[in-house]
Amino acid sequence: EQPSYEGGTAFMHGIVGRGLGRFYEATGEKRAMHMCLGIGEWLTTEPMGPPAKFWYKQAPSCKTGYGATSQCITALSYPYRYTGVEWFGGLSDELLAMTGPSSRSAAWVYTTLGHLAPRRTPLAIELPGLRPVLAPGEPWEGPVTLRNTTADTITARLSAAAPDGVRARFEPAEVAIEPGAEAQVMLEVAAQEGVALGTAEITLEFASVDRTQRRPLTAHVLSDLVDVEADLVAAELTGPFAITRADGDAWISVPREVRFNPDPWEATDDAGAITWTVEVPEADTYTLLAWCWWEDEKGNSLWVSIDGSEPEVFGNIGDLQHWQWIMGPTRRLEAGEHTVIFLSREDGARISRIRLTNAILGQ
């Protein structure tokens, strides 16, 4: 066959997964259900890049990018229906939001909506887009959006269960929401001194009406590992980068009055640089993190280079308007001095310090 027919095809797996789910529900044949689960696992591992986006075909000439296809929706929501695993439920919701019903998918989107009803009723819950990264003494905050999907006013009571040494709480912990309306609460997660978990598995609980909806959240804990930190005092600035001090905070950014850019700067535009020189005490694999504030969708990214590597995009995510640790590239570094350079990409993005950690951090 032609090279384009080699290997698996994401949208065809979606079609077959949907057929297997329907076959199982019509016949009770458990082998069909097991095959449907296998397709869900394949879709969400091998061909998936960004969450709920897949390459078109497995052939090398067809793996040039990722896209959202409505053909895969039920192949994700049937596994959620059968297992209740949030991995499948969350990805089904994300794919549904990116595609929605069309002249073709309207034939099966209603099936997915039925599958997702337990995680959408009475509350549709949107968690922060990034995993919390915790350093002792620096609580992490992220917005949680709740939408009332019922026809009545409901009260949501929020709580969290976290392992020893980690605290998670909502502010406020109780909120009334009108029919069809949204409410936003802040989730705060903090680690105590001396905690060395690497990762912490947290369970968030949302009680409303007569049921409790649960969502898992994984936090990265940096304490008791090799960490090298440098603040803005140690940074060398060029171009329009400047230090701003306000309300007890201080940060480096390209001020908005320089240029409210309609498009990002390229790494080759020489639009300013922040250079940190840090010394790593021992050879290991390190992940770069930076303490950042993203102003808005036009001020939420920088370019970054480590030891002269090709600059790559840092940030460019939608979790906005609060300070947070943002994860960057992971590199094998030898003991000694290393250079971290941030370049302008979008004016308004703020950064105050960096750290290199040998903690094992998943994205």
Beta bridge partners of 270: none
What pLDDT was estimated at residue 361?
61
Confidence label for 312 from pLDDT (cuts 50, 70 and 90): very high
CA distance 97 to 100: 6
Q: 62 exposed, middle or buried (CB, 10 Å; 0-12, 13-18, 19+)? A: middle
What pLDDT was estimated at residue 1?
47
CA distance 311 to 305: 5
Give tens-digit pLDDT for 31-49: 999 999 999 999 998 899 8
How many alpha carbons fall within 13 Å on the CB side of residue 1?
Answer: 6
Task: For residue 330, give Cα distances in angstroms to 74, 163, 316, 326, 356.
Answer: 35, 27, 17, 12, 9
Lowest mean pLDDT among 15-29, 120-134, 341-355: 120-134
Backbone angles phi, psi at 190, to 5 degrees: -140, 150
Distance of CA 174 to the CA centre of its chain: 25
Nearest to 347 by CA among 258, 277, 236, 267: 258
Nearest to 164 by CA among 141, 136, 138, 192: 192
Confidence label for 68 from pLDDT (cuts 50, 70 and 90): very high
CA distance 259 to 161: 45
Confidence label for 114 from pLDDT (cuts 50, 70 and 90): very high
CA distance 84 to 78: 10
- The average pLDDT across 62-87 equals 91
What pLDDT was estimated at residue 161?
95
Placement of tokens 């308007």 in the chain: 321
Does position 225 have pLDDT exceeding 60, yes or no? no
CA distance 329 to 350: 18
Percent of the chain with pLDDT over 90: 58
Does position 271 have pLDDT exceeding 50, yes or no? yes
What pLDDT was estimated at residue 156?
97
- The average pLDDT across 129-137 equals 76
Which contiguous run of DSSP H or E holds residue 12? Answer: helix 10-27
Q: What is the pTM of this model?
A: 0.67
Q: 347 exposed, middle or buried (CB, 10 Å; 0-12, 13-18, 19+)? A: buried
Which contiguous run of DSSP H or E holds residue 21? Answer: helix 10-27
List strand residue ranges (DSSP E) for the chain, in order. 123-126, 133-134, 140-148, 154-161, 166-171, 174-177, 182-191, 199-208, 211-221, 227-231, 236-238, 242-246, 249-253, 273-280, 284-293, 301-306, 312-315, 323-333, 336-343, 350-357
Does position 224 have pLDDT exceeding 60, yes or no? no
Q: In 3-state terms, what secondary structure has residue 232?
A: helix
Give tens-digit pLDDT for 178-220: 999 999 999 999 988 767 667 788 999 999 998 999 999 988 8
Tokens for 81? 């229906």
Q: Note the residue count of the chain.
A: 363
For 57, other C-beta atoms within 10 Å of its C-beta total 20
Nearest to 195 by CA among 139, 135, 255: 135
CA distance 319 to 127: 10
- Could you tell me which residues come within 8 angstroms of residue 263 by beta carbon, excluding any fewer than 6 positions away? none
